[in-house]
Amino acid sequence: MLIEVEDRLLVLIHAAGHFYALDDVCTHDGGPLSDGPVDGQDGTIACPRHGAKFDVSSGAAKTMPATKPTVAHEVKVDGDQVLVRLNEE
Amino acid sequence: MSSTLAPAGFSQETFDAFLAARDEPGWLNDLRASAWARFNELSLPTNKDEEWMRTDIRLFKLGRYSPASELSEIESPRALLAEGVDLGGSCSSVDGLSVESELSAELADRGIVFGSFDKVISEHGDLLRPYIERKLVDPHYDKFSALNAAMFSGGTVLYVPKKTRVEQPLHSLSTMTDGGVDLTKTLVILEEGAEATLLSETASTSTEAGGLHCGSIELIVEKDARLRYVNLQNWGSGVWHFAHQMGHVAQSAGLQWTIGALGSRLAKVNQHVALTGKDAEAQVNGVMFTQGKQHLCYNTHQHHQAEFCTSDLLYKAALQDVSRTVWRGMIKVDEGAQRTNAYQRNDNLMLATTARADSIPGLEIEADDVRCTHGSTSGRVDDQQLFYAMTRGYTRQEAVRMIVTGFFQQVFDRITIESVREALGEAIGQRVRDL
């Protein structure tokens, strides 16, 4: 799910009972990860352009052609709200 | 902040109020209405479009902006390109509303027309009509070109009659207030054998200012004419900058077009040059410096439509912080454009490992007797050069600044106007930080 937090676009992922938030950008080609499929079993989201996979919890690049991680943000669930703390790295 | 038309955004009411506030000929109103209809049909581009794949505008909210209806009283920013230049005329606008237009009496007596679009259209509408109706920039191309065609205001017109040589440069400055809107259009017409130099620059009222620029530039260089055109984009770091720019160069005519791209939050510019007559020449120079989170995207197009034409494009960019540039260049040679000589080159100097430059040159050639070449380089500052400069007594920052200046020297050498070289050099020098 695409969300906007303080002038920044993030993809909010619900997988295997947990919520995760990543920058909505593939570090290979700048593609929007929010348009890509999530694999709950291996905990990855794939870029729809060239198939690069990123770890949903750490943002680490898991497969080519991406080699650099995308930014992962801290997520907390508080009742019926999902809270995101931006990682400003 | 300038006052705005009610209601906010680009609604039908906004457009109707805009037209009602202007006293323009019917043919222009019809053109505006046609473009407005197209604007309403079109959606904003998305990153699924090939041209926009690398430029993400999902955070851009068109509805947050409205064209100004009244002039804001502001202190005009410094005009960098005009310093120390003996000008033949100048004009300025704030948020697309004309402030002043001046042209020396000597040039006016020789038939030269210069000033803000609003002023010139009211005095010389019939003269401009055929050139505006040529629609060098296609109003139906995308939502931004349609918006500009429907609601352009302010901006600059320069018309130089046949065989008239204008020695003194002319200057225009478009200023935008924080959160303002600038929908200016520049139209330059050089009749057969004419010569002129136009220095055009944009600036915000503060370095951090936001706003929306949606502009167009049309340069018509007729047979044997010579135009030197400089366009310096120096908006505040929050400005969204969208522009369509087109030059038509006729037989044996010459265009030297220099762009400086320093400001804005995100820029997406289509810069096209069409060589429409035999022996036409175009030289395109680009200087870009990006910092912070800036994203500048330039799509350039050198279109050879006639034989024996020459085009030479050189874009140089230096990037620091987490900024990004995208350059997509295309040389298109039509079937009949034999003996074409075309070159395009893009060099990028990476001042930070977190910056990113995408450089995508391209050729599309339908003729079989041409010379078309392209090149692209991207690299970091050479540590050995830095070390050597520091052994000669320079601080690290002085050394970096010197190397960056040297990187741009190749394009500065092609710019024949001293004030432009100095303005670009100074602006870049101020921005360079230690590595």
pLDDT tens, residue by residue, B139-195: 999 999 999 999 999 899 999 999 999 999 999 999 999 999 999 999 999 999 999
Comparing CA positions, the residue from B39, B69, B65, B44 lying closest to residue B150 is B39
pLDDT in tens, B55-71: 999 999 999 999 887 77
- Is ipTM over 0.95? no
With bands split at pLDDT 50, 70 and 90, how would you rate the model's confidence at B240? very high
Domain boundaries, chain A: 2-85
Q: B8 pLDDT band (50/70/90 cuts)?
A: low
Exposed/middle/buried for residue A4 (C-beta within 10 Å: 0-12, 13-18, 19+): exposed
Residue B325 predicted with pLDDT over 80: yes
Per-residue pLDDT band at B435 (split at 50, 70, 90)? low
Q: What is the CATH number of domain A2-85?
A: 2.102.10.10
- pTM score, whole prediction: 0.93
Question: Residue B40: CB partners within 8 Å, gap ≥ 6?
Answer: none
Local structure of residue B154 (DSSP, 8 states): S
* Whether pLDDT at B6 is above 50: no
3-class secondary-structure state, position B53: coil
Report whether pLDDT(B2) > 70. Answer: no
- Contact residues on chain B for A4, CB-CB shorter than 8 A: 59
b/e per residue B262-290 (b: at least 16 CB within 10 A): bbbbbbbbbbbbbbbbbbbbbbbbbbbbb
Classified as helix, coil or strand, B360 is: strand
- Residue B6 CA to chain centroid, in angstroms? 30
Using DSSP's 3-state secondary structure scheme, residue B432 falls into coil
Q: Which of B260, B265, B251, B269 is nearest to B287 (CA)?
A: B260
User: Which residue did the predictor score with more confidence, A40 or B55?
Assistant: B55
Q: Which residues 16-35 of A are in CB contact (within 8 Å) with B?
A: 25, 29-32
What is the per-residue pLDDT for B4? 42
Q: How far is CA A83 from the centre of its chain?
A: 15
Higher per-residue confidence, A22 vs B423: A22
Q: Give the relative orientation of helices B396-412 and B418-431 as an angle to the nearest 10 degrees.
A: 150
Whether B56 has its CB under 8 Å from any CB of chain A: the answer is: yes
Contact call for residues B180 and B206 (beta carbons, < 8 A): no
Q: What 3-state DSSP class applies to B390?
A: helix
B142-155: pLDDT as tens digits:
999 999 999 999 89
The SS3 assignment for B230 reads: strand
Touching check for B47 and chain A: CB below 8 Å?
yes
* Domains of chain B, residue spans: 1-199
Share the mean pLDDT of chain B: 93
**CB-based contact B287:B318 (threshold 8 Å):** no
Band of residue A1 on the pLDDT scale cut at 50, 70, 90: confident
Closest partner CB to B58 (pick from A9, A29, A31) = A9
Which chain A residue lies closest to B56 (C-alpha atoms)? A30
Q: Is the pLDDT of residue B79 over 90?
A: no
E strand intervals along B95-179: 97-103, 113-115, 156-160, 170-176
Q: What is the pLDDT of residues B298-314, one digit of tens each?
A: 999 999 999 999 999 99
pLDDT tier at B416, thresholds 50, 70, 90: confident
Chain A contact present for B354, CB below 8 A: no
Q: Do A30 and B58 touch (CB under 8 A)?
A: no
pLDDT value of position B332: 97
The single residue listed with the structure tokens 């799910």 is A1
pLDDT digits (tens, 9 = 90+) for B255-312: 999 999 999 999 999 999 999 999 999 999 999 999 999 999 999 999 999 999 999 9
Q: Residue B377's beta-bridge partner residues?
A: B347
Q: Does B54 touch chain A (CB under 8 A)?
A: yes
Q: pLDDT of B360-376, one tens digit each? A: 999 999 999 999 999 99
Q: Give B91's contacts (C-beta < 8 A, 6+ positions apart).
A: B98, B99, B100, B101, B102, B114, B115, B116, B156, B171, B172, B173
pLDDT tens, B12-38?
A: 999 999 999 888 999 999 999 999 999
Q: Which of B66-75, B227-236, B326-335 has the lowest mean pLDDT?
A: B66-75
Residues of B in contact with A25 (CB under 8 A): 56
On whether any CB of chain A is under 8 Å from the CB of B105, the answer is no
To which residue do tokens 């006293």 refer? Answer: B23
